[in-house]
Structure 1
Amino acid sequence: MAPDSKTLTAACHCQSIHFAIIIPADALPLKVHICHCSICRYIHGTPCIFHAPLPAGVAPQFIAPSGIEKLTSYNHAESQAARHFCSTCGCHIGDRSHDDGSWVISTAIFTEPNQGLWKMRTHAFTTSSFDGGLSAMFSHVDGRQLDVFNLEASLDTSKATRTEAEELRAECHCGGVSFSIARPKKGFLDSPASEGWVLSSDTSKWLALLDLCDDCRLVDGSNVVAWMFVPVDHISPSLPGDLIVGSLKSYKSSEDVLRTFCGMCGATVFYSCTDRPGIVGVAVGIMRAPEGVMAENWTLWSRRINSEDDGLKYDPDFSRALIEGLKVWGSRKGMPEVFVLPRV
């Protein structure tokens, strides 16, 4: 390695994908755009994604036994680059251009925390989110104002208008996974099973939270993930015990936690754990709520982010901006200050 360069390593949760990139020192910190477009949301299952273009000539160098053959690539009719995600755990590592082979890389998968390695610069395609998504929560990181980039045609109303009042549609980008979520039903509300999963302040909505935990970050490939918690019997078509429907694949991120992702486009879809039987976390990024990414007609968001400590260790500047921004946004929207998810 030349003295005027730095080697960064990255890996997904299951370690099937492990690579290094050698970055010229004058190219650091990598410039990150936070993309809120519907394509990125539906491919990742997150409210937005975090990508940094690599300098010309820089590409992942896979470390054995890892290799590019352990990635699944996804292309679609409008794509200018192939999306790549781990075939085992579903973690997105980045995109490779069809034109010149250049890479944009996920900033969520590096093996060391952000100490001058990357810098958030831009909120991109915020109008595509309808409600601003996470860009409505923070406009500055470490005292720096982020640029905002939009195109006139970036407002995407396709598929979002299909949602009806008593059903919320969820669908990954390729359409391999598609289902509907119902509002809390009377039978559920009247049963002990509803305790803690529906707040008395609004029994028509489900609980939701943002998550900065290391496992979610490394399973999805995004710096923050969002979940809405729903009983499985409020999802149609019915889910089998293994949560595998359509093109879903499963991955156990720990002994007690099962996750699923689309095997064709890589979207994170479900999260379940053994101490919350009958309840699944549904990835908010694949929801098609007409009102916007945060699906506020369906959700009550905690004003406290899950696993704040993990986020503050990995990227303290970004995490502080989001943590504080969520508190202000949540207060303005009348969201609950905090809630504790039930466990058996």
Structure 2
Amino acid sequence: MPPNSKTLTASCHCKATHFTLTLPANALPLKVHICHCSVCRYTHGTPCIFHAPLPAGIAPQFIAPSSMDNLTAYAHAESQSTRYFCSTCGCQIGDKGHDDGNWVVSTSIFTEPNDGLWEMRSNVFTDSSADGGLSAMVSCIDNRQLKIWNPETSSDTKAAERDETNASEGLSEELRAECHCGGVQFSISRPSKEFLASPASKGWVLEQDTSKWLACLDLCGDCRLVNGSNVVGWLFVSKDHISPLPPADLIVGSSKGYKSSEGVLRTFCGTCGATVFYSCDERPDIVDVAVGILRGSKGIMVEDWALWRAGRIAGANDGLEYDPGFTRALIEGMKVWGEGEGDA
């Protein structure tokens, strides 16, 4: 290793993708932008992503038997880079620029916790979120104000406007879910009278508003390493309220399955990598739908469909261990946001 440098190691959940980055000391902490654009949301299935540009000429050095062959590449018609995600577990690792070949990597998949290794500097493409998303909760980390950046006009903003228009013009009793490539598509209906009258609804639909499904943010390590983002949002839905009805293996369209632990099944799009479903044996009739692929009319937080568990974030201890500054900011910000929104 060259003098005055540091080597960081990164790995996805299944460890099929495993690499190092050797960085000059003056490149640390890595400068992270939290991106809320629709492309990032629809390819990750998360409310936002955490990316850091690497210095020119520095690229992932794969640890055998891991290699680029373990990754799936995805680029859309307007993209200026190619995104890569693990073909086995779906974890997004970053983008490689088409023109300069430079990498932008996820800082959510390092094997070391954040001890001066990366620093979140800005929330970008917040206009694309329609409601601000997590930027409305995390505007300051460790007494450091995050910058806000939005282009004057962009194809992403136009896409978000189209999504909002399409959603508002559609049936109010259906919520569309779709990954970026469109290979996974389905719709969610509101809690039915039959479901509300059954014991099965207990804990998933709350008395505050029986037209909405329970939702939460999750910082657990397993979720972080299967989607490549510090935080994922889940909407808890009774499986029979999803159309078309998912089969037992939850494979819809172009999705693939991954068993992250005993009794736990996750799915992601095999083309663009978006996280889709989480399910576990303890509650087979309830599935967690990744909020990042929902196309609601009110923005990322789909407040017309979701009753957020604002007072408690799942996996908070994992988050505090991995990135304490961001996690503390999100816990406090979510609590304040929930009080203003009147959520659970």
Report the more deviating stretch, 99-108 or 153-162.
153-162
Q: Which of 318, 330, 335 does residue 326 from structure 2 map onto?
A: 318
**Which amino acid in structure 1 is aligned with residue 165 of structure 2?**
T
* Secondary structure, aligned partner of 2:162: coil
Q: Does 1:182 align with 2:189?
A: yes
User: 1:340: which partner in 2?
Assistant: none
Q: Which of 285, 309, 315 does residue 307 from structure 1 map onto?
A: 315
**Which amino acid in structure 1 is aligned with residue 274 of structure 2?**
A
Is 1:140–1:321's contact at 8 Å kept on the other side of the alignment? yes
**Which amino acid in structure 2 is aligned with residue 178 of structure 1?**
Q
For residues 145 and 320 of structure 2, what CA distance do their matches in structure 1 show? 20
Over residues 123-165 of structure 1, what are the superposed CA-to-partner deviations in whole Å (9 max), with x where a residue is unaligned?
Answer: 0000000000000012101100001000122432123332231
Over residues 20-79 of structure 1, what are the superposed CA-to-partner deviations in whole Å (9 max), with x where a residue is unaligned?
Answer: 000100010000000000111001000011000001111000000100000000010111
Over residues 318-344 of structure 1, what are the superposed CA-to-partner deviations in whole Å (9 max), with x where a residue is unaligned?
Answer: 1000010000000110011xxxxxxxx
**Which amino acid in structure 2 is aligned with residue 82 of structure 1?**
T
Is 1:169–1:288's contact at 8 Å kept on the other side of the alignment? yes
- The equivalences for 1:1-344 within 5 A come to 1-154=1-154, 155=157, 156-163=160-167, 164-303=171-310, 304-336=312-344
**Which amino acid in structure 2 is aligned with residue 191 of structure 1?**
S
Is 1:141–1:318's contact at 8 Å kept on the other side of the alignment? yes
Q: CA deviation at 1:185?
A: 0.4
For residues 160 and 260 of structure 1, what CA distance do their matches in structure 2 show? 26
For residues 327 and 201 of structure 1, what CA distance do their matches in structure 2 show? 17
**Which amino acid in structure 2 is aligned with residue 201 of structure 1?**
Q
For residues 122 and 83 of structure 1, what CA distance do their matches in structure 2 show? 21
Is 1:162–1:169's contact at 8 Å kept on the other side of the alignment? no
Report the more deviating stretch, 153-162 or 286-295.
153-162
**Which amino acid in structure 2 is aligned with residue 175 of structure 1?**
G
For structure 2, the 5+ residue unaligned runs are: none
For residues 299 and 245 of structure 1, what CA distance do their matches in structure 2 show? 22
The percentage of aligned residue pairs carrying the same residue is: 69
For residues 270 and 78 of structure 1, what CA distance do their matches in structure 2 show? 27
Over residues 213-269 of structure 1, what are the superposed CA-to-partner deviations in whole Å (9 max), with x where a residue is unaligned?
Answer: 000000000011110000110000111000001000000000111000000000000
* Secondary structure, aligned partner of 2:161: coil
For residues 304 and 140 of structure 2, what CA distance do their matches in structure 1 show? 27
For residues 78 and 310 of structure 1, what CA distance do their matches in structure 2 show? 36
For residues 334 and 312 of structure 1, what CA distance do their matches in structure 2 show? 26
Q: Give 4+ residue runs of structure 1 displaced > 3 Å after superposition.
A: none
* Secondary structure, aligned partner of 2:334: helix
User: 1:341: which partner in 2?
Assistant: none
Over residues 89-125 of structure 1, what are the superposed CA-to-partner deviations in whole Å (9 max), with x where a residue is unaligned?
Answer: 0000000001111000001000000000000001000
* Secondary structure, aligned partner of 1:218: helix
Given the two structures, how large is their TM-score scaled by the length of structure 2? 0.97
For residues 326 and 60 of structure 2, what CA distance do their matches in structure 1 show? 24
Q: CA deviation at 1:197?
A: 1.0
Count of equivalent residues? 336
For structure 1, the 5+ residue unaligned runs are: 337-344
For residues 196 and 226 of structure 1, what CA distance do their matches in structure 2 show? 17
Q: CA deviation at 1:281?
A: 0.2
For residues 47 and 110 of structure 1, what CA distance do their matches in structure 2 show? 20
